[in-house]
Amino acid sequence: MPTAYEVVRYAILAALGAATLVAVGSWAVTSRRLSPFSPVARGIRRLTDPVLRPVERFLLARGGNPQHAPWWLLGSVIVLGIAALTLSQWLLSTAARLVGGAQTGPRGVVRLVLYFAGQLLSIALIVRVVASWMGPGRHHRWLRPAYVLTDWLVEPLRRIVPPLGVIDITPVVAWFLVQVVLAIVLQAI
């Protein structure tokens, strides 16, 4: 019997195969590799148009070219598939950690709480760094939690660590510091 992760992998592989067929079929019709008036091309359009219309509307609303919709669909399926695989793998490993931590008694629960606190802090630091590249500032409603979680660590380090030109490496130094301290503390417990 396949595991949950294998089921997710097969579902994503099937979605990727379907998106590839839609993209290639639509490309073959729009680039006139197939005659647009042939029964095969009409069948392809009848099957692919309901899938591609929302993507075309999305692209048009944002100033994009609707002819690129098949490739945007394929790229979206790839990116979302990678995200779904990563998330499912993380959920399964987290569930295994929870079960293992609960079975080892109070020491395991403390290790588990510290591990998850360190992971939350690491994710908040990564969000802070990536958001600084994208433009929204610390006062954006979606980014405030990341700054609240990390300011106590980043701000004191900023006084110690000099910037590299216009690049502030303090969050990266804080991330490495969190990883080292977390490893030492978890090893000690």
| CA-wise closest residue to 157 among 117, 186, 128 | 128
pLDDT at 136 over 80: no
pLDDT at 137 over 80: no
Q: Per residue in 145-169, pLDDT tens? A: 888 999 999 999 988 988 888 888 8
Q: Per residue in 51-91, pLDDT tens? A: 899 999 999 998 988 888 899 999 999 999 999 999 988 88
What is the DSSP annotation of 80-136? HHHHHHHHHHHHHHHHHHHHHHHHT-HHHHHHHHHHHHHHHHHHHHHHHHHHHHH--
Q: What is the mean pLDDT of residues 117-130?
A: 90
